[in-house]
Amino acid sequence: MTINESNARLTYWAGVALGPAAWAANLQGVYAITHLACEKAKWGGIALSTLLVLGALAGAVISARAIRRRAGIEWSDTAGGGPRAFLAWLGVGTGVLFALVIADQLLAALVISPCLR
């Protein structure tokens, strides 16, 4: 396996890995700064969530580009093009799904006051 082939395989995993990682970072980050949200402005959580939504969508875009780049090669690949295409499509789906989950949590943070106890 060459270095280019190894890097190409990592692009298929980008959406699968970046979406859940962005969601986990968002969840832990928002929990960590919740006690500050009541004392100060809540823009820190909004900025964190917005950046991580973009991170999750970046993983989906990277996986989508991997699919598009190798679209014609997948069907003639005897080394298992089907599983890699499935993994890339799974990466696109999970990237978009976790971006929507982070956006949903962001909307909840905007609507509900953090000072409610």
Q: Report the chain (117 residues): mean pLDDT per 10 consecutive residues.
A: 61 78 86 74 73 84 75 53 73 86 86 73
Radius of gyration, CA atoms only, the chain: 18
pLDDT at site 22? 87
Q: Are 3 and 79 in contact (CB under 8 A)?
A: no
pLDDT at site 78? 56
Is the pTM value of this prediction over 0.85?
A: no
pLDDT at site 58? 84
User: Which three-class secondary structure state does DSSP give residue 110?
Assistant: helix
Spell out the residues 6+ positions from residue 110 whose beta carbon is closer than 8 angstroms to its own: 46
User: With left for phi above 0 and alpha for psi between -120 and 50, is residue 80 left, alpha or beta?
Assistant: left
pLDDT at site 8? 64
Q: Are 72 and 81 in contact (CB under 8 A)?
A: no
pLDDT at site 96? 86
pLDDT at site 105? 86
Burial of 112 (0-12, 13-18, 19+ CB in 10 A): exposed
C-alpha 54/C-alpha 3 separation (Å) is: 28
Task: Identify the residue whose tokens are 């080394």.
Answer: 79
pLDDT at site 56? 83
Structure tokens at 51: 């950046």
pLDDT at site 17? 83
pLDDT at site 76? 52
pLDDT at site 80? 54
